[in-house]
Amino acid sequence: MKSIAGKALLERTVISSTFLAWLISFLYFYLPISGFIKQIFLSNFIFQQRLTFFLISTALASSAFLIKGIQLLRKSKQQEKLSAKEKTIFNSI
Amino acid sequence: MKRRTLGISLIIFSMLIVSVSAFVYEQASNTVTQTIVEVANITLDQGTLGSISEGQTILYTSANTSSLDDIISITTTQANVYLHFDTDLDGQSSNYATYQILVKADTVQGSTIITGDTIATLTLASPDTATGVDLDTAGAWTFDFEITTTANSVSSDTPTTVNITVSAESTST
């Protein structure tokens, strides 16, 4: 029981960290290029660095959300099947 | 049912992240084609300009200070590249009564800017250029600095440094 709770907490931490990383990289990267911050300090090197960080965090965050979403859908389907089976057994008794 | 809704929400959210990122990437690609190039990082200190006494005014030109000659050199491959100057001159107002940097054209292309023209003036009150200097024709450009400084009274020897960032952008602001 303890390990299940621990696993759930770890999953939540991973998902929220990837989302937070994506959000930070989004602000860090998008604000200068959108013109909210003066572009003058954004050299090509810094630009490439931020772009890489942004792309990596996008990949991580979207994968984390997608995997968790699919996992939940699968579990929900399994649960539905199980409930149907229980009903059948109960009915047959 | 709750699990199913949450699962679908997470999948939609992951797609939303990808979509937003794709949009930002598209915008970024446009910025890359516009390209912001840092042309030069210039430091003006004792090594460049030497010492100045209290109350003294010195005019540094490319003729008497060789390091100011062709201090900026840029070769543009397209027309209408804008040169921006950004300095920390405003931090020197306690040390100097006057600190004026004139950026003068030396090697030019086209006919809008003529050799000897002052293309930008940077002072204690306005340390950055509000709008970029339009290099309207592609080619090699060089610029000299002409600096006038008047030192304030100080309680002891005070080393000062002025940093200037020069960047080339495709937009004037």
pLDDT at residue A39, rounded to an integer: 44
Q: Which residues of chain A fall short of a pLDDT of 70?
A: 1-2, 32-45, 88-93
Task: Report yes or no: B100 and B147 within 8 Å, Cβ to Cβ.
Answer: yes
pLDDT tens readout for residues B69-120: 888 888 877 778 888 898 998 888 888 899 999 999 998 888 788 999 999 9
Share of chain B above pLDDT 90, in %: 25
pLDDT at residue B42, rounded to an integer: 84
pLDDT at residue A41, rounded to an integer: 41
Domain ranges in chain A are 2-92
Per the listing, tokens 């810094």 go with: A46
A41 and chain B in contact, CB less than 8 A? yes
Nearest Cα neighbor of B134 from B157, B117, B158 is: B117
Chain A residues whose beta carbon lies within 8 Å of the beta carbon of residue B40: none
A25 and chain B in contact, CB less than 8 A? no
Residue in B7, B37, B38 closest to A76 by CB: B7
Average pLDDT over residues B148-165: 86
CATH fold of B37-169, please? Jelly Rolls (2.60.120)
Amino acid (1-letter code) at residue B42? I
Residue in A47, A55, A72 closest to B10 by CB: A72
A70 and chain B in contact, CB less than 8 A? yes
A30 to B27: CB separation less than 8 angstroms, yes or no: yes
Domain ranges in chain B are 1-34, 37-169
Chain B residues whose beta carbon lies within 8 Å of the beta carbon of residue A34: 27
Q: Bridge partners of B76?
A: B139
Looking at the complex, report in whole angstroms how far the Cα of residue B172 sits from the nearest Cα belonging to chain A.
11
B3 and chain A in contact, CB less than 8 A? yes
Full-model pTM = 0.53
ipTM of the complex as predicted: 0.78
In degrees and rounded to multiples of 5, residue B57 shows phi and psi of: -115, 130
